[in-house]
Amino acid sequence: MLEERVRALAARLTDELVRAVRESLASEVEALVRAATRGGARLRLGGPGDARIGKQPVPVRCPVPGCTSPGVRARRNFCPEHGAALTDAERRALRGEAAPRGASRGRKRAR
């Protein structure tokens, strides 16, 4: 009998706590949204600088002449085949980039 009363009391306490937390959380979220959109500003969901949300990816081409495969942004726009097969120097040359500082250009220094 006592055990049943304790369980019922614990269940009622739990329900009250859940209700109070939900109401508090809802009012905090509402206040934050109101503050973020004050003055007619739009609420940005992606965080600062993330303008890609809701946009389609831009297709890229592999810069190797004659290659018809789509490029992969993570491989600096080279297709998977050419991204793995070419050296860094060859990739830079195809993209028209300068060699990084300190990189060897095939000449040996005279000492």
Whether pLDDT at 111 is above 60: no
Please list the residues that pair with 70 across neighbouring strands: 61
Structure tokens given for 86: 């070419």
Average pLDDT over residues 7-20: 93
Residue at token pair 């070419």: 86
* Amino acid sitting at position 24: S
pLDDT score of 5: 93
The number of CA neighbours under 13 Å toward the Cβ of 78 is 18
Amino acid, single-letter form, for residue 78:
F
Predicted confidence band of residue 7 (pLDDT cuts 50, 70, 90): very high
Q: What is the DSSP letter of 68?
A: -
pLDDT digits (tens, 9 = 90+) for 53-96: 667 777 888 999 999 999 887 778 889 898 889 998 898 888 88
CA angle 71, 66, 76 (to 5 degrees): 25
